[in-house]
Amino acid sequence: MNFVSPTPIQEQAMPVILQRKDLIACAQTGTGKTAAFLLPLLHILKTTPPKREGAIRALIIGPTRELALQIDRELEGFSYFTDLSSITVYGGNDSALWEQQKKAFIHGADIVISTPGRLMSHMNFEYVNFDSLEILILDEADRMLEMGFIDDIMKIIEHIPQERQTLMFSATMPGRIRHLAKTIQHNPDQIDIAVSKPSENVLQVAYLAEEREKINIIESLLKGQHLDNAIIFTSTRRNARKLEQTLEHLGLNVKAIHSDLDQKDREEALRMFKYGRIQILVATDILSRGIDINGLSMVCNFDVPGSPEDYIHRIGRTARADNTGVAITLISKADARKFIRIEKFLGHTVYKMPEVYYRDERAAAQADEESESSKPRSRNPNSFRKEK
């Protein structure tokens, strides 16, 4: 598969996993963390006899169907020449899909990849047996907590053996993740690959515009351009649908992906985009993590993402594997301060045009910070100056 040298997360995580230790690892998407746990997992399963024939030996839980399917595709490639079996368990209204998943639980599979909600649905029936589970992997653990899956995760853990290896991978390491690790792991090793700045191969540009002007800017950016492909991220399903309709009227080859679509339609849209049958994909944050699309020309943030980490994840879809790419963000006046926080995280400003009200908002934000810093508090009064 042309893997020549390991990425930092692979180099640090694989030895820990092969030693059968628990692990909590912080590494952003696009750093090769899926291979960091799949390759040693396959090695362990191939070199260690199962506790019971037909048992489920490893369970991988991810927050979204798209991520589960992405892990499944990578697993299929890595395990192609092995006799290990796997099943991907995710939601949908397809009764045949449910029956296929049910049969896998009944007859056993070496590896189950699942979303929390669908797994809980199957666990309501007696045919799910995790008594011989050896390894539990939580991928994008921070995302699962953000989406409110913590209760489901804890219920699932109640039904699996305490004697197991537990691996947690997270793009960020907030306090809740550390608390979860203490609750479900045994003396875990910790790896913290700091959330890296965007690749230098990404050209970052921002346009300042009121909400009503954003559509016109998108039109001018895309119409008549010879882009191979582009993803436009929106924060709401409403914006995704509206933008899809607008770009269709311009004669552009576009599809939207959001949670209102049936799973089959989402999978088909993503598949068509990957194979070049769709030029532009409009998506909510359902696609911001865990989706690997080679050669993506441009990422556009129609809405400013809610956090610096989300910004990194979104624009990290382009300029992968030493390719170049463009990341464009449209900033309304209401979102100006959010982008200021993003720039503070990046450690530099992003080129913008025009800068009029953004400059005003930046000055106001700085004034607020200085006002806050002047209030009496127990911290070192010089600390703000150092942070600044």
Among the listed residues 363, 201, 229, 381, the one whose alpha carbon sits nearest the alpha carbon of residue 296 = 229
Stretch 229-241: mean pLDDT: 88
Q: Residue 45 is inside which H or E element, if any?
A: helix 33-47
DSSP string, 259-317: TTS-HHHHHHHHHHHHTTS-SEEEE-GGGSSS---TT--EEEESS--SSHHHHHHHHTT
Q: Do domains 8-192 and 202-354 have the same CATH topology?
A: yes
Taking the CA of residue 48 as centre, how many other CA atoms within 13 Å lie in the half-sphere pointing to its CB? 18
User: From CA 358, how far away is CA 366, in angstroms rounded?
Assistant: 12
Q: Does domain 8-192 have CATH number 3.40.50.300?
A: yes
The tokens of 213 are what? 């002007």
Amino acid 322: pLDDT:
60
Q: Report pLDDT digits (tens) over 113-163.
A: 999 999 999 999 989 999 999 999 999 998 898 888 999 999 999 999 999
Beta strand 298-301 pairing with 165-170: unpaired
Angstrom distances, CA of residue 182 to CA of 24, 159, 177, 224, 247: 10, 18, 9, 54, 48
Percent with pLDDT over 70 in the chain: 84
Q: Report pLDDT digits (tens) over 155-177.
A: 999 999 999 999 999 877 778 88
User: From CA 52, how far away is CA 50, in angstroms rounded?
Assistant: 5
Q: 206: pLDDT confidence band, cut at 50, 70 and 90?
A: very high
CA diameter of the chain? 68
Out of 56-60, 188-192, 198-202, 245-249, least confident range: 198-202
Cα-atom radius of gyration of the chain, to the nearest Å? 22
User: From CA 118, how far away is CA 301, in angstroms rounded?
Assistant: 30
Domain boundaries, the chain: 8-192, 202-354
pTM of the model: 0.67
Q: Does domain 202-354 have CATH number 3.40.640.10?
A: no
Amino acid 313: pLDDT:
78
